[in-house]
Amino acid sequence: MVQHLQRRRRLFSIIQMDILYQDHHTDALPFATQTTPSVLTSYGANRPTVYRSPLNTYQSRPFRSTEPMLRNVPVSQEPIRTTNSIQAASVASNHSILPTYVHTTVNLGKALLINNILFKDRNKERQGAKKDSQDLDKVLKKLGFEVEHKDNLSGKDMLKRVKQFSQSNFNRHSISLVVIMSHGNNLMQSGNEVKAVPGGFTQISGVDNTQVATDTIVNQFTLENCHSSLKGKPKIFIFQCCRGDKSLLVCHDAAPIKAQTKLYADVLIAFSTLPGYTSSRNPETGTWYIQSLCDVIERHQREFHIEEMLKLVDDQLNNKHPLYAQTSTYESRGFKRCFLYKNS
Amino acid sequence: MVQHLQRRRRLFSIIQMDILYQDHHTDALPFATQTTPSVLTSYGANRPTVYRSPLNTYQSRPFRSTEPMLRNVPVSQEPIRTTNSIQAASVASNHSILPTYVHTTVNLGKALLINNILFKDRNKERQGAKKDSQDLDKVLKKLGFEVEHKDNLSGKDMLKRVKQFSQSNFNRHSISLVVIMSHGNNLMQSGNEVKAVPGGFTQISGVDNTQVATDTIVNQFTLENCHSSLKGKPKIFIFQCCRGDKSLLVCHDAAPIKAQTKLYADVLIAFSTLPGYTSSRNPETGTWYIQSLCDVIERHQREFHIEEMLKLVDDQLNNKHPLYAQTSTYESRGFKRCFLYKNS
C-alpha cells in the first residue's frame, strides 16, 4: 500500500497546473474525490465509430526536444489500448494522419431538432422558422440521419428532451446532432440586476420564456452523463439564436456599404484547455500544449492549415501522462483556412 | 430625404432577429446610433492578404429554395467590391472553393509572445515555461514571423502591449498572432462573492495578480480598434492558461487507466452568430444560418467535413443583405474531422 501511494506521488509530482489559486503541485489536487466515470468500465464494448489516430506515427518518431517529456514518471502498467477497427476515410492521402471519425454504423447518425416558433408572448413568434426545420429534416434524412422533431417546448421540456436523447442508445448511430432554434440572449441575474455575461455565455429560450444555458445542453453529453454508446463519437451542437442585442450594421455616411469583410470576423481563438479546467505544465520541458504546438507546426506546416494542426496537437495531449488528460479547444469566428506559409 | 428614409425602411423591414427582449422588426433597431467604423473609408488601400471567396460560385448557381432570399429588398447601389488580388493557394483542387487566406506580404506575420513566469507571489512561478517561448520563437521565426517577446508583465502592461501591437502597421505582414502564456481562471466578483462565470469566460493573470479577460485581448483586434492594415487578415490568439480548477484525472478503482478517449472531447458547438450579437431571420424563407447550412450540406457533403462546410456557411452570410452582416462561430473541443457520410 505504501509502495502504491509512493508510486502515485511520483506520478503526480511531475506536472503543474497553470492556475493561481491552488497549490502548484498536483499532489495537492483532491484526486481522491474524483468520481470514476462508469463508462470506462465498458471499454472495448460495441464501438463502431472510431477515429484514426496518428498515435503510432508520433510514437515511432523521436520527440524534437532532447528532454524526455515525462522524466521519472513510471509508465502505466495498463497496456495502451488501440482502437478496435481502423478504416481509411476517402480523403486525399496527405490528410491520412489527421484524426478523423470513421462511421460504420447502420445509420449515419441521430438528430434532435428543437424549433421554438410560437411563444406564450405572441409577439415573439419566429416567423419563417418552420421552413428551417423542414429543410433541415430533408437534408439530414438524405444523409442517413434518424431525425426527431420537437417544436415549441418550454425550457424545462427542452432540457428533459435533450437528456432523454443523450441517454438513448447510439449503438446503431455514429454521430449525435442536436439543433436548437429559438430566441436567445447572454443575460443573467446578478443581485438585483440583469447583466450580460462576458465570455460567450449563451442561453436559449423555451416558449414559456424560461432560459436554458447552451452549456447545460452540451454538458448532457459528457461521458458521465450520456449513454456509453456515445463514447468517442462526434457530438455536434448547432444553436440558431441571438446571443445578445448587438447587431452588425455596416453603415457609412448614412449610405449602405456592402462590407466585403465583416467587422469581427477572421478571428481564431485557441485555448490549451477546456472552459473550467486546468492546463498542465511540465516543470522541466514546458507546457504540454505549447510544446505539442511547436512540434506539430515544425513537422506539418507545409501540409496542413492551422486548425488541422490544432487537431493534431489535441491528439498529442492524449499521450502526455498516464493519469491526466487535457482537451484543447479552438473557436473560429468567421475564420477561413489559414496556412502558415507564404503564397508567393 | 423622405425617399431615402423610405428606402431604408424597406431595407430594414424584411429581417427579424432571434432575440426576445427587443421588438421583432429591425425598424426598431437603434441604427442611427451605430458608429461608423472609420476603417471602411480606407477600403481598397494596401490589402496584400485576401481570401479566395466562393462568392462567384454561389452567385452563378440558383439558390436551392424557390423563394428569393431577400424579396422586396432593393440591392445596394454601391457596387459590390471585389478583392484586389486573387491568388490560388497551393492546396488540392477540390478544396479550391474553401475560403482561404492568401499571404503575399514581405513577412508571413507578426507575433506577440507574452510569457508570465515569475510572479510577485514567488510560489506562483511557472517553472519550465521559459522553454515554451524559446521553442515558439524558433518555430515562428523559421515560418517567417517577426516575433516580439514580452515576459513577466502586469495585467495593465499586458493590455497596453496588446493594444500597441493591434494598432501597429501590418502592411508588410499577413497574419497577426498573439500568444499569452500565464496562470488563468474563470472567476469574477459578484457582490461579495467570487464566482466561476459560466460559458467559457477566461481571464489570464498578470505577474501582479491583476487579471485580463481573454475577450478584452481579442476585442483589441476588432476593425474599430486595430490598425486598418489588419482588415480581412487572420488574427490568431493562443492562450496557454488554466480556465478553472477542474482537472481531467482519469482514474478507475484507484488504478490508473490510460483513457483512449477523453471525457469531454469530441464536441463541436456551432452558433449562428457571435457572442453578444443578434442573429437574422427572414420571416418568409427562414434564418440565414440554417438556410445556408442546408444549402451547403446538400451541395458539399461528399467533399468537405463539417467544419469546412461551416466555413462556407459563414461565407454565405456575407451575401445575405446589403446592410446587415452576420458572423457565425464554431468551437471544437477535442473534435476530429467529421464527414457527413458513412465510411462503409
Which residues of chain A does B326 touch, with a Cβ-Cβ cutoff of 8 Å? 248, 262
Distance CA A162, CA A159 (A): 5
* pTM as predicted: 0.75
The CA distance from A159 to the nearest CA of chain B, in Å, is 17
How high is the mean pLDDT of chain A? 74
DSSP letters, A186-205, are: -EEEETTEEEEPSSS--EEE
The residue assigned the cell 445575405 is: B320
Cross-strand partners of A234:
none
Confidence of residue A80 (pLDDT cuts 50, 70, 90): very low
User: The C-alpha cell of A287 is what?
Assistant: 507546457
Average pLDDT rounded to a whole number, residues B159-176 = 97
Distance CA B135, CA A293 (A): 10
pLDDT digits (tens, 9 = 90+) for A89-126: 333 336 778 889 999 999 999 999 999 999 999 999 99
Distance CA B295, CA B288 (A): 11
Query: Long-range CB contacts (< 8 A, 24+ apart) of B54-60?
Result: B54/B97, B54/B98, B54/B99, B54/B312, B54/B315, B55/B315, B55/B318, B55/B319, B57/B97, B58/B316, B58/B319, B59/B319
The CA distance from A314 to the nearest CA of chain B, in Å, is 6
Distance CA B243, CA B183 (A): 9
Q: Does B68 touch chain A (CB under 8 A)?
A: no
* Residue A61 and residue A277 in contact, taking contact as beta carbons nearer than 8 Å: no
Q: Does A113 touch chain B (CB under 8 A)?
A: no
Check residue A94 and give its pLDDT: 63
Q: Does ipTM come in above 0.85?
A: no
Confidence of residue A85 (pLDDT cuts 50, 70, 90): very low
Is residue A178 within a helix (H) or strand (E), and if so which, with residue range? strand A173-181
Distance CA B53, CA B56 (A): 8
Q: Is the dihedral of CA B190, B194, B200, B202 positive or negative?
A: positive
Check residue B245 and give its pLDDT: 82
Whole-angstrom Cα Rg for chain B? 23
Distance CA A262, CA B226 (A): 14
Is residue A175 within a helix (H) or strand (E), and if so which, with residue range? strand A173-181
Cross-strand partners of A237:
A178, B269
Distance CA B158, CA B210 (A): 10
User: The C-alpha cell of A226 is what?
Assistant: 450520456
Cross-strand partners of A177:
A111, A236
Average pLDDT rounded to a whole number, residues A265-280 = 89
CB contact under 8 A, B186 and A276: yes
**Buried-exposed string A285-312: b where 16+ CB fall within 10 A, e elsewhere:** bbbbbbbbbbbbbebbbeebbbbbbbbb
Check residue A191 and give its pLDDT: 78
Q: Using CB atoms within 10 Å of the CB of residue A339, give its burial: 0 to 12 exposed, 13 to 18 middle, 19+ buried.
A: buried
Confidence of residue B54 (pLDDT cuts 50, 70, 90): very low
Pairing of strands A329-333, B329-333: antiparallel
Average pLDDT rounded to a whole number, residues A240-256 = 65
3-state SS of chain B: helix, strand, coil percent to 5?
A: 30, 25, 50
CB contact under 8 A, A325 and B298: no
Distance CA A237, CA A343 (A): 35
Distance CA B328, CA B316 (A): 10
User: The C-alpha cell of B123 is what?
Assistant: 510560489
Q: Does A205 touch chain B (CB under 8 A)?
A: yes
* Residue B206 and residue B154 in contact, taking contact as beta carbons nearer than 8 Å: yes
Whether residue A264 is predicted with pLDDT greater than 70 in this model: the reply is yes
Distance CA A278, CA A282 (A): 13
Closest by Cβ to A275, choosing from B200, B251, B323: B200
Whether residue B98 is predicted with pLDDT greater than 90 in this model: the reply is no
Residues 185-204 of A with CB under 8 A from B: 185-188, 190-191, 196-202
Three-state secondary structure string covering B103-138: CCCCEEEEEEEEECCCCCCHHHCCCCHHHHHHHHHH
User: The C-alpha cell of B201 is what?
Assistant: 469566460
Q: Does B45 touch chain A (CB under 8 A)?
A: no
Distance CA B283, CA A330 (A): 33
Average pLDDT rounded to a whole number, residues B2-22 = 51
Average pLDDT rounded to a whole number, residues B81-93 = 29
Domain A83-333 part of CATH 3.40.50.720: no
Check residue B257 and give its pLDDT: 42
pLDDT digits (tens, 9 = 90+) for B291-342: 999 999 999 988 999 999 999 999 998 888 877 788 999 999 999 999 998 8
Confidence of residue A252 (pLDDT cuts 50, 70, 90): very low
Which residues of chain B does A244 touch, with a Cβ-Cβ cutoff of 8 Å? 19, 275-278
CB contact under 8 A, A201 and B202: no
Confidence of residue A28 (pLDDT cuts 50, 70, 90): very low
- Give the mutation candidate from B94, B194, B274 for the A interface (greatest A CB count, under 10 A): B274
pLDDT digits (tens, 9 = 90+) for A308-324: 999 999 999 888 887 77
Check residue B14 and give its pLDDT: 53
Q: Using CB atoms within 10 Å of the CB of residue A134, give its burial: 0 to 12 exposed, 13 to 18 middle, 19+ buried.
A: middle
Check residue A210 and give its pLDDT: 95
Higher pLDDT, B93 or A119: A119
Is residue A130 within a helix (H) or strand (E), and if so which, with residue range? helix A129-143
- Contacts of residue B254, defined as CB under 8 A and 6 or more positions apart, other chains included, come to A4
Among all residues of chain B, which has the CA nearest to that of A220?
A: B264
The CA distance from A254 to the nearest CA of chain B, in Å, is 9
Confidence of residue A182 (pLDDT cuts 50, 70, 90): very high
Q: Is the dihedral of CA B329, B330, B333, B337 positive or negative?
A: negative
Whether residue A259 is predicted with pLDDT greater than 90 in this model: the reply is no
- Closest listed residue to residue B233, CA positions, set A271, A269, A334: A334
* Residue A191 and residue A136 in contact, taking contact as beta carbons nearer than 8 Å: no
DSSP letters, B198-242, are: SSS--EEE-TTS-EEEHHHHHHTTSTTTS-GGGTTS-EEEEEES-
Closest by Cβ to B241, choosing from A201, A272, A291: A272
Among all residues of chain B, which has the CA nearest to that of A186?
A: B276
